């Protein structure tokens, strides 16, 4: 796993490419941010549970229209090629008005409308310090950060190129937060 290094030192090395992602061990999640290859282990069980529960709650209502408005693609760990950066958020969503048909490729170059990162010790720094600016640069409108250890969800909206926190929920609070404010779910669904 690559850790953060000073910019000059990173620039002296060759920039990571998609081939580096393809060559990464299959049991690792590989991403390229600012020319640096990051590989992380598969998520731990609390992380996986939070991601799965959120996908079920949001997918039913917003992808399939069961008890909600539909109109979205909700995807677990999509591969995003955003400029030279290759990111794999835990969850992402596209309004079908922006992505009318689902891609058949291994990745997409269309930035999502919403991204959710599930924070864990191995990915926290990457998610908070390296990936957030890429999401802002690419115009992702909504970012959710879920922390299973703290049992919290923080939601941000992109305003004039900056992230503004619009909500924070904890423990078992009911959640009704943009862009999914049409339906409420219990944050307790995400924790064991």
Q: The domain containing residue 120 runs over which residues?
A: 43-190
- Residues 99-116: pLDDT tens digits? 999 999 999 999 999 999
CATH number at residue 147: 3.90.1570.10
- CA distances in angstroms from 132 to 18, 71, 136, 192, listed in the order given: 20, 25, 6, 27
Number of Cβ within a 10 Å radius of residue 97: 9
Beta strands at 114-118 and 142-147: parallel, antiparallel or unpaired: parallel
Question: Residue 34: inside a domain, yes or no?
Answer: no
Question: Of the given ranges (8-12, 26-30, 73-77, 154-158), which has the lowest mean pLDDT?
Answer: 8-12
Tell me whether the omega of the peptide bond preceding residue 179 falls within 30 degrees of 0, making it cis: yes
Whether 85 is in a domain gets the answer yes
Dihedral sign of CA atoms 112, 56, 188, 45 in order: negative
pTM across the whole model: 0.91
Q: How many domains does the chain have?
A: 1
Which tens digits make up the pLDDT trace of 43-89? 899 999 999 999 999 999 999 999 999 999 999 999 999 999 999 99
Taking the C-alpha atoms of residue 45 and residue 88, their distance in angstroms, rounded to an integer, is 18
Residue 149 has pLDDT above 90, yes or no: yes
Determine the average pLDDT of the residues in 28-35. 97
pLDDT at 99: 98
Residue 65 lies in a domain: yes
Does 7 fall in a domain?
no
In a domain, 37, yes or no: no
């Amino acid at each position: 796993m690559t850790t953060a290094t000073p910019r000059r030192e990173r620039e002296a090395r060759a920039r990571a490419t998609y081939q580096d992602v393809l060559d990464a061990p299959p049991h690792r999640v590989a991403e390229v941010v600012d020319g640096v290859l990051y590989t992380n282990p598969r998520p731990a069980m609390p992380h996986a549970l939070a991601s799965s529960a959120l996908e079920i709650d949001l997918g039913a209502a917003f992808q399939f229209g069961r008890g909600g408005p539909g109109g979205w693609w909700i995807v677990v760990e999509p591969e995003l090629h955003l400029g030279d950066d290759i990111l794999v958020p835990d969850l992402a969503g596209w309004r079908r008005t922006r992505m009318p048909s689902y891609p058949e490729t291994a990745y997409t170059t269309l930035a999502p409308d919403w991204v959710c990162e599930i924070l864990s010790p191995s990915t926290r720094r990457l998610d908070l310090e390296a990936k957030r600016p890429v999401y802002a640069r690419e115009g992702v409108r909504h970012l959710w950060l879920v922390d299973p250890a703290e049992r919290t969800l923080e939601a941000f909206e992109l305003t004039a190129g900056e992230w503004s926190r619009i909500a924070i929920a904890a423990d078992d609070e009911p959640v009704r937060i943009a862009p999914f404010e049409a339906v409420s779910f219990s944050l307790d669904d995400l924790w064991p």
